[in-house]
């Protein structure tokens, strides 16, 4: 069964690579400015790591990393569904009949959550991880704000556009999204701590945190 788990994870990693190929294949590193692409790159890392670990019976990625990536992918899917404009109708197909937007915004979040629920050992996360994960969002907003104001290079998303919202509007948006980010992180920790300690599929080697 561990072989099946590894194959699944390698397939997810391949999809994540397909969704971000402009970055790693064509050298368009500006694409890393987008939270969606950052999440896709991190998903590739943990899926390859987890897949190799399953094959070799080695410890899985630490809980703080795997839980964080799961959170980032869940946020990516929710923001894409509720906030972002729909993908262009003529967007090119990237892999398995899907566009990059469909892979990154719809498929990857679902696969990441399923992997976390079914294939990971549980009861490894700590409540403090929700705070750790929140710092990633705050660091991201800080960087994009400095980039947009100091170097006048624009903003990756409208809801953190300082020119559009002003400092007050930006602060409100960060508070709203940060609160949602933190609460969803707490939910991930809660679910993990209520799940059976053993993975539901496969027999992964645990790490303590």
> Which token pair is 124?
């490894």
Strand partners, 29: none
Q: Model-level pTM?
A: 0.95
pLDDT band of 208, cuts 50, 70, 90: low
Mean pLDDT of 80-105: 90
Contact 12, 112 (CB under 8 A): yes
Question: Is 12 within the bounds of a domain?
Answer: yes
pLDDT attached to residue 203: 85
> Which token pair is 113?
């959550």
Q: What's CA 126's distance to the chain center, in Å?
A: 19
Q: pLDDT tens digits, residue range 183-194?
A: 999 999 999 999
User: Among residues of the chain, what percentage have pLDDT more than 90?
Assistant: 86
Question: Is 16 within the bounds of a domain?
Answer: yes
Please state the domain count of the chain. 1
Question: Is 208 within the bounds of a domain?
Answer: no
Question: Is 44 within the bounds of a domain?
Answer: yes
Question: Is 29 within the bounds of a domain?
Answer: yes
Q: Following DSSP, what letter does each residue of 139-195 receive, concatenated? A: HHHHHHHHHHHHS----SSGGG-HHHHHHHHHHHHHHHHHHHHHHHHHHHHHHHHHS
What is the span of the domain harbouring residue 63? 2-194
Question: Is 207 within the bounds of a domain?
Answer: no
Strand partners, 27: none
Q: pLDDT tens digits, residue range 43-76?
A: 999 999 999 999 999 999 999 999 999 999 999 9
Mean pLDDT of 81-103: 89
């Amino acid at each position: 069964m561990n072989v099946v788990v590894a194959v699944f994870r390698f397939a997810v990693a391949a999809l994540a690579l397909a969704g971000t190929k402009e970055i790693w294949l064509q050298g368009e590193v500006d694409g890393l400015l987008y939270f969606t692409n950052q999440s896709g790159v991190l998903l590739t890392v943990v899926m390859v790591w987890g897949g190799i670990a399953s094959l070799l019976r080695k410890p899985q990625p630490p809980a703080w990393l795997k839980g964080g990536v799961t959170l980032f992918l869940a946020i990516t899917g929710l923001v894409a569904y509720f906030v972002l404009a729909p993908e262009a109708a003529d967007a090119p197909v990237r892999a398995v009949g899907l566009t990059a937007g469909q892979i990154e915004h719809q498929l990857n979040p679902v696969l990441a959550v399923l992997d976390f629920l079914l294939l990971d050992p549980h009861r490894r996360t700590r409540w403090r991880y929700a705070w750790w994960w929140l710092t990633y969002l705050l660091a991201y907003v800080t960087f994009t704000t400095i980039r947009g104001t100091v170097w006048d290079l624009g903003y990756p998303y409208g809801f953190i556009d300082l020119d559009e919202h002003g400092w007050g509007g930006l602060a409100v948006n960060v508070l709203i999204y940060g609160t949602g980010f933190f609460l969803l992180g707490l939910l991930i920790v809660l679910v993990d701590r209520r799940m059976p300690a053993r993975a539901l599929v496969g027999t992964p080697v645990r790490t303590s945190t």
